Every structure is written in structure tokens, then in C-alpha cells.
Amino acid sequence: MSDSPNVITGYANMARNLFVRLQDDERFDLSFLGLQFAGQPTEYMKLENGPLLKFRMLPAGSARFGEDMLPFYLQKYRPDACYILLDSFMVQWMLNLDWSPTKMIMHFPSDGFPIPAGSEALMKKFDYVVSMSKYAQNQLIDLGVDAAYIPAGVETNKFYPLREDEKIKIREKWSQALQIDLNGKFVIGCVGRMQGRKFYGELLKAVEKFVEDKNDVVLIIHADPNDPANPGFILPELIKLRKLEHLIRFTGNKYTLGFTEKEMNEIYNLFDVFALTSSGEGFGIPFIESMACEVPIITTDFTTVKEIITDNNAGIAVPIKNTITGTYNVERGIADLDKFTESLQYLYDNAIERKRLGKNGRTAVLRDYDWDKVVYPAWKKYLLEVLEK
């Protein structure tokens, strides 16, 4: 159970990539309860801009996080195992659920500290817990939860650096599409859902200060301002208030449609740097997609950033100035915007350093986060071991 594989979210990305690989292994008979999926159960589904889904798709009910339908499907299908990929606060209702004899596997993210209030007992109840980051794994170990670690992944044959002549061509192409001249510009890029914890408003503040003495900067935002996850930010209006509309463009991404992987690879290859003022990521799939394209990253030094970016010398981790207490009593990190602006300036001035950090990033992704060489083999081994117990 997770976000439906036909929508455009990080969870959908992860679950889809796992299931489309498992579906060709005859040892697995798969059903997928997609939280945004409605209608009749479907055996096969061909995504217009994606793969053929050969597994059974199960519709969600009226409850937001499967409270009404997961118990029903567990009774109907009696699966050997059930994989959950959601935030822990979304499934706290499962604390009172009897799922036996099914083996319940929770794939756990953590985008702050401590883990969401009310989640500890649930984590201890799950039969198996897999953390998607070492950060989350350490949090669970401290609570006495025996958590495995399998990270998110990226398809490095689809996300990769283009040649310089190809980059010139795509800048010409996207200059027309975005109605702004990208040639000779320093392009800052950001990819992420329009969620409150991404702190897009803070990014605008940093960019506003950074461009005070410049006329060659463009900020490209790949996000849908009308995403239902948006807690109320009216970003286009905020951009106008800060008088930045002349240098900021949205790609036109829609939450329900998204871009093809080819288009996404082009988007990343437009960037000179990837910048995100997030207050905490449960993993950060755009981080590793950016790294796969050899684009250096500037982001808040919080949660998973150390293991993904700092330890691999793939970008700049901006120190936090403070934390803020968010929902479920989770502390979130607030980037020091002066340091963030200094980091933008540093990479603006140092093309050689941008290239070095970018190459370091791709090296790390190939070693640690490649879907077919690292992530899927780890999942297949883990799931088979669970089923054999």
C-alpha cells in the first residue's frame, strides 16, 4: 500500500520501480492498493509515459490512508506479506489492526526528529521495518527497533549527464518552452512537490538576495503550485511580491501528469546547481536524480543530507539556523539563508568546483543508489528471506 503508481510523488516513484521489477519474477504474485486509485480492480495498466503495470491494482476507499480498504483486502486475499510505503503518522490507525497471518513490512522514512508522536509503538508492532535512510535507521535502533536499511534508487540509464553540445540544444529548446533565455545564464533548479516542509518561500528569499547584483540568473521550479499537498502557499503571488517574476519559471508540471523521464533528464541538465531549502527530507529522490545528472546540490544540512550529499562531496550542506516544531512534534531544520546565499555565490563563481561536485555525485549514485545494480537486488533478497521465514 502506497501512493498509486500512476501519480507523480516520491512514494509512487519508489513503489512503482520496485513492483515493475518484481512483476517479472514468477515467485511474486502482486497486488497494489494505491491510495489515489479509484474504480474497479485492474489487472493490467499501461501508463502513457511509463511502463506496463502487470500486477493487480486495488482501488482505495473513502478513507485517506486505507483504513477502510486495507483490512478488507487482507481478509480477501490473505497475502503472505504486505508492504507499506507511507509516513508513519499516516498509518497509526494500524496499531489496533490484527493483520495475522500476513507479515507486515513497513518502509520507513524520517524527515525530522524525533519520529512522529505516536509512531514508536507502531514501529515496534510491525513484523519487519526497513528504513530508507541511515538517518531513519539510527533513530529506530535508538528506540530498540530492529530496522534494516534499503535506500531509494534512481535509474542511472535514464538520468545521466548530457554532452555539452546536447546541453546547448536543450537550453535552446526550453528557452522557447519557458519563454526565457537560458543561454549564458546561471540556472538554479528545484524539483519537489509543493509541500509546506519544502520551504519554497525561503528559497525565494535566498534567490532574491543572491541576484541583487546580477542579471544572468534564472530559477526553474519543477512543481505544481496547485498540488493538493500545498498547505496554502500562493507561490506565483509570492514571486510577484518579491519582484522575481522576470527570472523564475515553472516547468508546467502537473501533480496528476508529470513529465516523462526523458523530459526530467533534460530539466536536470538545464541546471547549474540544484537548490532546495527543505526543512527535512525522508530521503530526497530529486537529490539522487540531480546527482545522477552531475548537478551539484545546495540544501539544508538536516536529516538525510549528510549521508547522501556531504559524505559523497556532492554539494554544499547549508547549516541550520534553528529548528521549528512541526506537526506530530517533529523538529524541522531552518536553513541559514545568509549561508545559503553564500553557497549560491560560491558555486556561481566556481565552475570547476561545480563540475567536481557533480562528478562526485554521479559516482556515489552509481555505487549506492542504482536501481538495477543495488536497490532492487537488495529488495529481492530481503523479500525472499521474509517469505521463507
Here the CATH number for the domain that contains residue 323 is: 3.40.50.2000
Confirm whether 99 is domain-assigned: yes
Confirm whether 53 is domain-assigned: yes
Reported residue count of the chain is 389
Give the pLDDT of residue 232: 82
Instruction: Answer yes or no: do 332 and 313 share one domain.
Output: yes
Instruction: Answer yes or no: do 60 and 195 share one domain.
Output: no
pTM for the whole thing? 0.95
Confirm whether 267 is domain-assigned: yes
Give the pLDDT of residue 221: 97
Instruction: Answer yes or no: do 374 and 281 share one domain.
Output: no
Cα–Cα distance, 79 to 69 (Å, whole number): 14
Give the pLDDT of residue 285: 97
57 and 34 Cβ atoms separated by less than 8 Å: yes
Instruction: Answer yes or no: do 131 and 196 share one domain.
Output: no
Give the pLDDT of residue 230: 81
* Number of separate domains in the chain: 2
Place of cell 535506500: 151
Q: In DSSP terms, which residues pair with 276 in a beta bridge?
A: 299
Q: What range defines the domain where residue 292 resides? A: 164-368
Confirm whether 158 is domain-assigned: no
Instruction: Answer yes or no: do 306 and 268 share one domain.
Output: yes
Cα–Cα distance, 272 to 294 (Å, whole number): 9
Instruction: Answer yes or no: do 33 and 116 share one domain.
Output: yes
Confirm whether 51 is domain-assigned: yes
Give the pLDDT of residue 229: 79
Per DSSP, the three-state class of 210 is: helix
Instruction: Answer yes or no: do 220 and 84 share one domain.
Output: no
Confirm whether 159 is domain-assigned: no
Closest CA relative to residue 167, chosen from 179, 180, 184: 184
Instruction: Answer yes or no: do 245 and 323 share one domain.
Output: yes
Angle between helices 351-368 and 337-349 (to 10 degrees): 100
Confirm whether 255 is domain-assigned: yes
Instruction: Answer yes or no: do 356 and 374 share one domain.
Output: no
> What is the dihedral angle through the alpha carbons of 160, 7, 110, 324, rounded to the nearest 10 degrees?
100
Instruction: Answer yes or no: do 132 and 177 share one domain.
Output: no
pLDDT digit string (tens) for the chain, length 389 residues: 999 999 888 999 999 999 999 999 999 999 999 999 999 999 999 988 789 999 999 999 999 999 999 999 999 999 999 999 999 999 999 999 999 999 999 999 999 999 999 999 999 999 999 999 999 999 999 999 999 999 999 999 999 999 999 999 999 999 999 999 999 999 999 999 888 899 999 999 999 999 999 999 999 999 988 888 788 888 899 999 999 999 999 999 887 788 999 999 999 999 999 999 999 999 999 999 999 999 999 999 999 999 999 999 999 999 999 999 999 999 999 999 999 999 999 999 999 999 999 999 999 999 999 999 999 999 999 999 999 98
Place of cell 521463507: 388
267 and 182 Cβ atoms separated by less than 8 Å: no
Confirm whether 5 is domain-assigned: no
Q: How far is CA 313 from CA 69, 297, 345, in A?
A: 44, 10, 18
Instruction: Answer yes or no: do 106 and 228 share one domain.
Output: no
Closest CA relative to residue 155, chosen from 283, 18, 30, 354: 18
Instruction: Answer yes or no: do 274 and 319 share one domain.
Output: yes
Q: How far is CA 190 from CA 81, 135, 213, 290, in A?
A: 37, 23, 22, 10
Give the pLDDT of residue 226: 86
